[in-house]
Amino acid sequence: MSNNHFKKGELYSFITGKASTAIARRLQKKFNDSGTNLTIEQWSVLYHLWKQDGVSQQELCNATFRDKPSITRLVDNLEKLNLVKRVASENDRRINKIYLTKQSQKLQEQTMDLAEETLNEALNSVPTEKIEVCKEVLQIVYDNLK
């Protein structure tokens, strides 16, 4: 059996990520409106650092699905904003360990609330069991392609 369930007219939104783009834009707007001077991409790096900081840039690459130059520049910008600090590893001098600052620790609660709010708006009226199926499918898609 073919998996070819996409008529031409349906290719588009899957490939362009229409839904996730809309979610990201909505969250960015909430950041801007609340005076949170942060891009979604910067937030996504902080998101992983809030779970654990002191990790290498390479670990941030893996966690955020970005390449090394992207992380270099995101960390550059986060450092300019005084939200993270590069600390050279003592054991391995190739490695920068990335630490949160006091300022970025304060941002966690507020921005996570806005993120949850955004997802609740996005998923308004969608039944729980359909959300679960959707999450499952998207995870398989990712696993199929990684």
Q: How far apart are CA 40 and CA 89, in angstroms?
A: 28
- Which one among 36, 39, 101, 108 touches DNA, defined by CB under 7 A? 39
Length, in residues, of the chain: 146
Q: d(Cα 50, Cα 11) in Å, to the nearest integer?
A: 36
Q: Does 112 bind its own copies (CB under 8 A)?
A: yes
- How far is 22 from 122, CA to CA, in rounded Å? 9
Residue 11 binds its own copies, judged by CB under 8 A:
yes
Strand order across the 96-100 sheet: 55-56, 96-100, 84-88
Q: Does 56 bind DNA (CB under 7 A)?
A: yes
Task: Give yes or no for a contact between 43 and 111, defined as CB atoms under 8 angstroms apart.
Answer: yes
33 binding partner (options its own copies, DNA, none; Cβ < 5 to 8 Å by kind): none
91 binds its own copies (CB under 8 A): no
Q: What is the footprint of its own copies within residues 19-38 (CB under 8 A)?
A: 19-27
Q: Does 6 bind its own copies (CB under 8 A)?
A: yes
Pattern 102-141, DNA, x by CB under 7 A: ----------------------------------------
